[in-house]
């Protein structure tokens, strides 16, 4: 600190920062990106290990043999389902009761803000069925949840069959210390959300549902299963939940343990685990998985019903049975045994899962990157914003210093003392851009009926198109605002605005990176260069193009292409555009139905901030 | 039934005056009995009761002083064999003879429900209550589950349940009986068969319904001598259907609602399933101090309307000294669900106050419901001394209702818990460093520095400047 309070040395330091600003910025940005890419390589990735003592050392012997029973349950379920066209509630109740569970149902209904075209639903009403296996001689203070979501199509009946067969097997055992809730939800995630809200007696999303008749204490962990064939070639595990929340790493370790024990082929993001980490191939494959995970997590949507449990601090993950063209297949017994083992070990838990990491990235199923190692990547990127802001601050405040900072043209003219920075001139652009963000957030859903009356579009289309229209209309704003802005020394005006915008952006990205690293990193990697470069002088069309290409919506579009590319299913331009429109609609819907925060975050936070940079670019 | 009551080991020390017996009771006596109730689900419930009485020289003086009344709960304690062994030692015959030979730990703890209790109270020996005797009543209830213990079979026998049969009564017992509930099966003898066939039956009103019991008296020599041992067998001729069990008139459920670690809500649902009778319930809640209750948020609603309790007693908590005590008398309308909810805030404990497993959560003891539940059948007033012991578990007060005390499930509440590990220390340290750096940086960023020339020259320079000013020349 002595270095900074000594004016002479301080001035020297300031001069250094100013002179080396551009190289430092470039260096910092490159370091951030390079750090991120290096995350998949061994010194930064570590082997996962079980931290929880209660689950680590004890061995369990799986005894599940009900494969035939599961298949016959699945057949019956599918038949009843076809007959009734909806979830066969009565049949499920009867069957659950016959295997010895305490059965309850819950009906719910929800009118979506606008029709969901991907899932073809608007006015949704359904019934969840759940059965509670009461642990013998325990007082129902703790429970585990095994859930199977059923969508509108008749997939997942094998999962229901396996659930019932496992319930029958579990019911005959004496060792349970926690109640087990077997939950079958209708309308997949909507049903799960309705059940969770009713279980915790809260109303987060405006769901209407009947109160639950039976409860089983505090839920300690949950496992969701999606299976749609009698045999599987591999099991895929999904961890990313709502708003990028992740379950405790120990739960994933537990799954991996039983994958290894049962000799199951387990995948993460649909990718097999690389075997060889010493050569370049392994880490490169790991990097693909890591990128997929970052994209999935950044989207903030629940990738399976487990994602909704995380809000209630219930550690949860989703297992998906994949049936591909691979030769070797596993039957339901193998999957059932893995699940039995997991539940028996979860039953041993004395405390909630808390020992292992909650914030991590996964380049492979058995490798992870901890928060301490991946945070510097965002740190370096945000440092660029800090350095640029510091430069602007000094140029605004320390007249004369800017003059000998490399003799650059433009902003380096000596400026009058600091009092001249009219903060009032910043109020108008800030207010206008925030108002634009608010309009982006509120208008599409509010004005859908007006839009459908005046234009030949459906409600869902109307929402997406209004969204895009307002987004693009924001670009026309500078012409409106610069008239409002009072006459100031032109350079001083835009510099102050850019300074505010930089700090605003850095704060937002920092906060996002803390809660959802992936989203923070993706946005930082795209927005930082354009934000740093933008100024009203120099090659304006180039800056404008760069700024447009790195706007949040463009990032979303780019992410979609990258995602499909990594999944080895590349998109054509037209498909990409369709997917983009669908993603916009889904994003808005998920905000209203599950409380996903990505849409309000982009509309109310990052989009106005990005507009400020657009303002800076077209400053006159 | 199994999960509606907690398994907290509740020891009630009741100092209320036991009903003054008309005749002077015998000086030392033991009565033991076992009630077997086959349930429609195919499960079977068994309740042991042992009552020991002995005279004491202690003299009673006046009424009970309620200052000495204490209520305590250990909601975390789960009943296990450790509780069974000392409990058995209190029995006069230990587990050597009589009904207590059936108390084998490995069978009793292979059940789906287990509850064990010890009641002790003084009983007046005469109407003026000048001398008393002590009564020790031990009860143990278990439910054998067709799915776990029965391996799917629904036929039961004493041997199948306890892996023992009865051979002799306890020599000290004045009464030793086994009762089998045959209410639903006595009308048409087709569904359930009890073997050996009972010699006598007993009828009474229990829990508001008329019930019939087959009685086996162990003191009756013929009962044992015929076959050297008594192995009661229950055979279903027509296997019972898997149907939802009958719901009792009064039952309750308790849960914590909300999420996150700041606030929450304790909700208790009270169900009155009686078709046309409303009745009052006394609800007693004792909540630990680290859940700070907001009493103004106490809401009681039944059938969508606010339900004003006719009596509320609230004793606020004192940090680390005493818990909240909330007692209410609530009228439950007929055929309704009443929701009692109160919001709370989770307190931050001092870091040494956390239990060794803080992430398990903290227990909140069960609410206690006491009620006089109206019965369907009017009961005759009975002589307590003559009727079986199980009759007094749910005492009938005036013939039209019976007394029930229910315990809801205990709750597990997570409090904000620091991560007691390395990262926690690291976070603390980092925050300190960041705080220090932030202070200095803020200071630097908001302050402008000017170099001030040191005033050199002193008096001579000032004099020179005075002269220079007088001459109109700029000062030095």
Q: With pLDDT > 70 as the criterion, what percentage of chain B qualifies? A: 84
In a domain, A263, yes or no: yes
Q: What tens digit of pLDDT does each residue of A381-407 get?
A: 999 999 999 888 888 876 444 343 333
For the cut 90, the answer to whether the pLDDT of residue B287 exceeds it is yes
CB contact under 8 A, A201 and B8: no
Using the 3D structure, point to which of A324, A339, A356 is the last residue of a domain. Answer: A356
CB neighbour burial string for A159-197, b if at least 16 within 10 angstroms, e if fewer = bbbbbbbbbbbbbbbeebebbbbbbbbbbbbbbbbbbbb
In a domain, A193, yes or no: yes
Contacts of A397 in chain B (CB under 8 A): 448
A608, A434 Cβ separation under 8 angstroms: yes
What is the mean predicted confidence (pLDDT) over B279-285? 94
Give the residue from B376, B366, B372 showing the smallest Cα distance to B405. Answer: B372
> Do B41 and B182 belong together in one domain?
yes
Q: What is the mean pLDDT of chain B?
A: 81
| Strand ranges for A256-324 from DSSP E | 266-268, 315-322
Give pLDDT, residue B393.
74
Q: How far does chain B reach from its first CA to its final CA, in angstroms?
A: 101
Q: Report the 10 Å Cβ neighbour count for B26.
A: 11
Confidence of residue B425 (pLDDT cuts 50, 70, 90): confident
Give pLDDT, residue A219.
94
CB contact under 8 A, A136 and B411: no
Give pLDDT, residue A417.
45
> Do B212 and B274 belong together in one domain?
no
> Do A352 and A427 belong together in one domain?
no
Q: What is the mean pLDDT of chain A?
A: 86
CB contact under 8 A, B410 and A141: yes
Give pLDDT, residue B241.
59
Q: Which of A39-53, A482-496, B190-204 has the lowest mean pLDDT?
A: A482-496
Instruction: Nearest by CB to B357, from A5, A10, A351: name it.
Output: A351
H helices of B70-146, in order, are 81-89, 105-108
pLDDT greater at residue A137 or residue B141:
B141
Cα distances (Å, whole numbers) of residue A602 to A311, A556, A597? 21, 11, 9
> Residue B429: helix, strand or coil by DSSP?
helix
Q: What tens digit of pLDDT does each residue of A350-359 get?
A: 889 988 899 9
CB contact under 8 A, B152 and A172: yes
**Could you give the number of structural domains in chain B?**
2
- CB-based contacts of A433, cutoff 8 Å, min separation 6: A474, A477, A608, A609, A611, A612, A615
In a domain, B399, yes or no: no
Q: What tens digit of pLDDT does each residue of B360-392 get?
A: 999 999 999 999 888 877 767 666 677 788 877
In a domain, A21, yes or no: no
Rounded distance between C-alpha atoms, residue A398 and residue A447, angstroms: 49
CB contact under 8 A, A217 and B411: yes
Give pLDDT, residue B288.
93
| Distance in Å, alpha carbon of A350 to nearest chain B alpha carbon | 6
What is the mean predicted confidence (pLDDT) over B173-196? 76
H helices of A300-370, in order, are 306-309, 332-347
In a domain, A447, yes or no: yes
**Could you give the number of structural domains in chain A?**
2
Instruction: Nearest by CB to A139, from B7, B445, B450: name it.
Output: B7
Which of A118-122, A229-233, A378-382, B378-382 has the highest mean predicted lDDT (pLDDT)? A378-382
> Do A446 and A530 belong together in one domain?
yes
Rounded distance between C-alpha atoms, residue B44 and residue B145, angstroms: 7
Token reading at B71: 């209520």
Token reading at A235: 């099991």
Q: What tens digit of pLDDT does each residue of B333-344 get?
A: 999 999 999 999
Rounded distance between C-alpha atoms, residue B265 and residue B186, angstroms: 48
pLDDT greater at residue B334 or residue A276:
B334
pTM over 0.90: no
In a domain, B147, yes or no: yes
Which of A202-206, A243-247, B25-29, B103-107 has the highest mean predicted lDDT (pLDDT)? A243-247
Give the residue from B368, B380, B350 showing the smallest Cα distance to B406. Answer: B368
> Do B186 and B49 belong together in one domain?
yes
| Strand ranges for A258-396 from DSSP E | 266-268, 315-322, 360-364, 367-370
CB contact under 8 A, B7 and A137: yes
Instruction: Nearest by CB to A7, from B151, B242, B449: name it.
Output: B449
In a domain, B424, yes or no: no
Using the 3D structure, point to which of B374, B404, B435 is the last residue of a domain. Answer: B374
> Do B227 and B257 belong together in one domain?
no
Rounded distance between C-alpha atoms, residue A194 and residue A192, angstroms: 5
In a domain, A47, yes or no: no
Task: Write out the DSSP string of A75-115.
Answer: HHHHHHHHHHSS--HHHHHHHHHHTT-EEEEEEEEEEEEEE
Q: Which of A82-86, A112-116, A186-190, A397-401 has the lowest mean pLDDT?
A: A397-401
Rounded distance between C-alpha atoms, residue A382 and residue B183, angstroms: 78
For the cut 90, the answer to whether the pLDDT of residue A570 exceeds it is no
Rounded distance between C-alpha atoms, residue B474 and residue B468, angstroms: 7
For the cut 80, the answer to whether the pLDDT of residue B243 exceeds it is no
In a domain, A57, yes or no: no
Give pLDDT, residue B201.
85
Rounded distance between C-alpha atoms, residue A348 and residue A50, angstroms: 14
Give pLDDT, residue B6.
37
Angle at A384 (CA atoms; ends A380, A385), nearest 5 degrees = 120
Contacts of B358 in chain A (CB under 8 A): 351
For the cut 90, the answer to whether the pLDDT of residue A53 exceeds it is no
Cβ pairs A/B, distance under 8 A: 106
Q: What tens digit of pLDDT does each residue of A164-179 get?
A: 999 999 998 888 999 9
Using the 3D structure, point to which of B321, B350, B374 is the last residue of a domain. Answer: B374
Q: Which residues form the domain of A555?
A: 423-618
Using the 3D structure, point to which of B214, B236, B258 is the last residue of a domain. Answer: B236
| Distance in Å, alpha carbon of A180 to nearest chain B alpha carbon | 13
In a domain, A43, yes or no: no
Tokens 């599987």, residue?
A232
- Which CATH number does the domain housing residue B345 bear? 2.60.40.1170
Contacts of A167 in chain B (CB under 8 A): none
Q: What tens digit of pLDDT does each residue of A183-230 get?
A: 999 888 899 999 999 999 998 888 899 999 889 999 999 999 999 888
- CB-based contacts of A206, cutoff 8 Å, min separation 6: A110, A592
In terms of C-beta distances under 8 Å and separation of at least 24 residues, what long-range contacts does B387-395 make, across chains too? B387/B204, B388/B33, B388/B35, B388/B177, B388/B179, B388/B202, B388/B204, B389/B31, B389/B33, B389/B49, B389/B51, B389/B137, B390/B33, B390/B35, B390/B47, B390/B49, B390/B179, B390/B206, B391/B204, B391/B206, B393/B49, B393/B139, B394/B206, B394/B207
Q: What is the DSSP letter of A333?
A: H
> Do B161 and B276 belong together in one domain?
no
Alpha carbon B393 to chain centroid distance? 16
Rounded distance between C-alpha atoms, residue A56 and residue B441, angstroms: 46
pLDDT greater at residue B243 or residue A253:
A253
For the cut 90, the answer to whether the pLDDT of residue A604 exceeds it is yes
Beta strands B263-272 and B336-346, pairing class: antiparallel
Give pLDDT, residue B60.
61
Task: Write out the DSSP string of A132-164.
Answer: EEPPTT--S-EEEEEEEEE-SSS--HHHHHHHH
| Distance in Å, alpha carbon of A375 to nearest chain B alpha carbon | 14
Q: Which of A124-138, A244-258, A409-423, A424-438 has the lowest mean pLDDT?
A: A409-423
Token reading at A475: 């670009």
In a domain, B419, yes or no: no
Give the residue from B409, B299, B276 showing the smallest Cα distance to B8. Answer: B409
B14, B416 Cβ separation under 8 angstroms: no
Give pLDDT, residue B410.
92
B3, A142 Cβ separation under 8 angstroms: no
B57, B37 Cβ separation under 8 angstroms: no
> Do B229 and B313 belong together in one domain?
no
Give pLDDT, residue B13.
36
> Do A473 and A613 belong together in one domain?
yes
In a domain, B395, yes or no: no
Cα distances (Å, whole numbers) of residue B90 to A367, A592, B94, B106? 58, 63, 7, 19
Rounded distance between C-alpha atoms, residue B195 and residue A180, angstroms: 37
Tokens 């009681």, residue?
B300
> Do B263 and B219 belong together in one domain?
no
In a domain, B2, yes or no: no
Confidence of residue A296 (pLDDT cuts 50, 70, 90): very high
In a domain, A537, yes or no: yes
Q: Is the peptide bond before B196 cis (omega within 30 degrees of 0)?
A: yes
Contacts of B109 in chain A (CB under 8 A): 137
Order the strands of the B233-236 sheet from edge to edge. B156-157, B233-236, B192-195
| Distance in Å, alpha carbon of A23 to nearest chain B alpha carbon | 23
What is the mean predicted confidence (pLDDT) over B107-129? 85
Q: Which residues form the domain of B297?
A: 250-374
pLDDT greater at residue A362 or residue B224:
A362
CB contact under 8 A, B410 and A137: no
- Which CATH number does the domain housing residue A250 bear? 3.40.630.10
CB neighbour burial string for A396-434, b if at least 16 within 10 angstroms, e if fewer = bbbbebbeebeeeeebbeebeeeeebbeebbebbbebbb
Confidence of residue B123 (pLDDT cuts 50, 70, 90): confident
Contacts of A171 in chain B (CB under 8 A): 147-148
Tokens 């076959």, residue?
B227
> Do B49 and B187 belong together in one domain?
yes
Radius of gyration of chain B (CA): 34
Order the strands of the A315-322 sheet from edge to edge. A208-209, A102-116, A121-133, A179-186, A142-150, A218-226, A315-322, A234-238, A266-268
Give pLDDT, residue A402.
39
> Do B255 and B136 belong together in one domain?
no
Give the residue from A137, A139, A173 showing the smallest Cα distance to B109. Answer: A137
Confidence of residue B240 (pLDDT cuts 50, 70, 90): low
> Do B94 and B167 belong together in one domain?
yes
CA atoms within 13 A on the CB side of B86: 6
Give pLDDT, residue A368.
93
> Do B119 and B267 belong together in one domain?
no
A contact test, residue of B145, B259, B269 with most A CBs within 10 A: B259
B contact test, residue of A12, A139, A176 with most B CBs within 10 A: A139
Rounded distance between C-alpha atoms, residue B210 and residue B206, angstroms: 6
H helices of B201-358, in order, are 221-225
């Amino acid at each position: 600190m002595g270095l900074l309070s000594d004016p002479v040395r301080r001035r020297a330091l300031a001069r250094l920062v100013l002179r080396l600003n551009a190289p430092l910025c470039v260096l910092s940005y490159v370091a951030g990106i390079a750090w991120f890419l290096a995350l998949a390589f061994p010194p930064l990735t570590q082997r996962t290990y079980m931290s929880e003592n209660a689950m680590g050392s004890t061995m369990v012997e799986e005894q599940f043999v009900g494969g035939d029973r599961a298949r016959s349950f699945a057949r019956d379920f599918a038949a009843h389902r076809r007959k009734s066209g909806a979830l066969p509630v009565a049949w499920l109740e009867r069957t659950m009761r016959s295997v010895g569970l305490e059965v309850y149902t819950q009906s719910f209904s929800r009118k979506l803000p606008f029709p969901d075209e991907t899932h073809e639903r608007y006015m949704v009403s359904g019934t969840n069925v759940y059965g509670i296996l009461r642990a013998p001689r325990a007082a129902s203070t703790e429970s585990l949840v095994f859930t199977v979501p059923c969508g509108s199509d008749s997939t997942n009946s094998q999962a229901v069959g396996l659930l019932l067969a496992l319930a029958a097997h579990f019911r005959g055992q004496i060792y349970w210390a926690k109640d087990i809730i077997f939950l079958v939800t209708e309308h997949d995630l909507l049903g799960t959300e309705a059940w969770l809200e009713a279980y915790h007696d809260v109303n987060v999303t405006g769901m209407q549902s009947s109160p639950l008749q039976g409860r089983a204490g505090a839920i300690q962990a949950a496992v969701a299963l999606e299976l749609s064939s009698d045999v599987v070639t591999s099991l895929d595990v999904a961890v990313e939940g709502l708003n990028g929340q992740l379950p405790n790493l120990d739960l994933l370790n537990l799954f991996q343990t039983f994958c290894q024990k049962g000799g199951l082929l387990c995948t993460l993001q649909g990718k097999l685990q690389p075997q060889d980490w010493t050569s370049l191939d392994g880490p490169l494959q790991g990097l693909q998985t890591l990128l997929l995970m970052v994209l999935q997590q950044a989207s903030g949507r629940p990738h399976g019903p487990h994602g909704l449990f995380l809000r209630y601090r219930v550690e949860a993950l989703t297992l998906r049975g994949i049936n591909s063209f691979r030769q070797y297949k596993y039957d339901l017994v193998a999957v059932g045994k893995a699940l039995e083992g997991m539940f028996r070990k979860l039953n041993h838990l004395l405390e909630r899962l808390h020992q292992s990491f909650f914030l991590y990235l996964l380049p492979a199923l058995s490798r992870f990157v901890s928060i301490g190692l991946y945070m510097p990547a965002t740190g370096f990127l945000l440092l660029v914003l800090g350095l640029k802001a510091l430069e602007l601050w000094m140029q605004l405040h320390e007249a004369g210093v800017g003059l000998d900072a490399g003799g650059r043209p433009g902003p380096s003219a000596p400026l009058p003392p600091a009092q001249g920075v009219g903060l009032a001139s910043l109020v108008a652009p800030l207010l206008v851009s925030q108002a634009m963000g608010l309009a982006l957030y509120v208008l599409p859903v509010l004005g859908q009926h007006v839009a459908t009356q005046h234009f030949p579009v459906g409600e869902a289309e109307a929402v997406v198109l209004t969204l895009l229209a307002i987004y693009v209309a924001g670009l026309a704003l500078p012409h409106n605002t610069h008239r409002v802005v009072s006459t100031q020394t032109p350079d001083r005006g835009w510099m102050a605005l850019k300074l505010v915008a930089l700090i605003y952006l850095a704060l937002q990205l920092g906060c996002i990176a803390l809660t959802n690293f992936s989203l923070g990193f993706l946005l930082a990697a795209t927005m930082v260069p354009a934000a740093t470069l933008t100024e009203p002088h120099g090659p304006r069309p180039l800056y404008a193009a760069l700024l447009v290409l790195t706007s949040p919506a463009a990032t979303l579009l780019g992410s979609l292409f990258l995602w499909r590319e990594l999944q080895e299913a590349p998109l054509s331009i037209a498909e990409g555009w369709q997917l983009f429109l669908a993603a916009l609609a889904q994003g808005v819907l998920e905000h209203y139905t599950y409380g996903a925060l990505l849409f309000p975050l982009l509309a109310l936070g990052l989009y106005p901030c990005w507009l400020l940079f657009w303002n800076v670019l077209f400053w006159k | 039934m199994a999960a509606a009551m907690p398994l907290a080991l509740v020891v009630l020390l009741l100092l209320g005056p036991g009903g003054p017996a008309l005749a002077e009771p015998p000086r030392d006596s033991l009565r033991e009995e076992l009630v077997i109730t086959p349930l429609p689900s195919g499960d079977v419930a068994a309740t042991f009761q042992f009552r020991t009485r002995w005279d004491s020289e202690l003299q009673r003086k006046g009424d009970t002083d309620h200052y000495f009344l204490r209520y305590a709960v250990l909601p975390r304690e789960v009943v296990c064999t450790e509780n069974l062994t000392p409990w058995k030692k209190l029995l006069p015959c230990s587990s050597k003879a009589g009904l207590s030979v059936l108390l084998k730990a490995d069978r009793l703890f292979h059940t789906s429900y287990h509850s064990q209790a010890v009641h002790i109270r003084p009983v007046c020996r005469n109407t003026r209550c000048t001398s008393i005797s002590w009564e020790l009543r031990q009860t143990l209830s278990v439910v054998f589950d067709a799915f776990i213990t029965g391996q799917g079979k629904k036929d039961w026998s004493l041997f199948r349940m306890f892996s023992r049969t009865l051979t002799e009564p306890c020599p000290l017992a004045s009464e030793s009986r086994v009762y089998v509930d045959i209410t639903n099966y006595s009308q048409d003898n087709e569904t359930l068969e009890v073997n050996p066939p009972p010699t006598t039956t007993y009828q009474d009103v229990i829990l508001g319904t008329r019930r019939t019991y087959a009685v086996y008296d162990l003191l009756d020599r013929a009962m044992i001598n015929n076959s050297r041992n008594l192995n009661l067998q229950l055979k279903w001729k027509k296997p019972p259907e898997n149907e939802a069990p009958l719901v009792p008139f009064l039952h309750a459920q308790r849960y914590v609602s909300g999420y996150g670690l700041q606030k929450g809500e304790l909700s208790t649902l009270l169900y009155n399933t009686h078709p046309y009778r409303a009745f009052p319930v006394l609800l007693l809640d004792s909540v630990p101090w680290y859940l700070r209750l907001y009493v103004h948020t106490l809401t009681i609603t039944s059938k969508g309307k606010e339900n004003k309790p006719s009596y509320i007693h609230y004793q606020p908590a004192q940090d680390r000294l005493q818990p909240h005590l909330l007692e209410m008398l609530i009228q439950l309308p007929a055929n309704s669900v009443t929701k009692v909810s109160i919001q709370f805030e989770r307190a931050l404990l001092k870091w040494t106050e956390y239990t060794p497993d803080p992430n398990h959560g903290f227990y909140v003891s069960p609410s206690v419901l006491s009620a006089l539940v109206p019965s369907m059948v009017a009961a005759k007033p009975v002589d307590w001394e003559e009727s079986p012991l199980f009759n007094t578990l749910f005492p009938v007060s005036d013939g039209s209702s019976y007394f029930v005390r229910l315990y809801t499930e205990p709750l597990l509440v997570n409090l904000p818990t620091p991560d007691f590990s390395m990262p926690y220390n690291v976070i603390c340290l980092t925050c300190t460093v960041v705080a220090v750096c932030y202070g200095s940086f803020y200071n630097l960023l908001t302050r402008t520095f000017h170099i001030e020339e040191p005033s050199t020259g002193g008096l001579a320079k000032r004099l020179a400047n005075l002269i220079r000013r007088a001459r109109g020349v700029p000062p030095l």
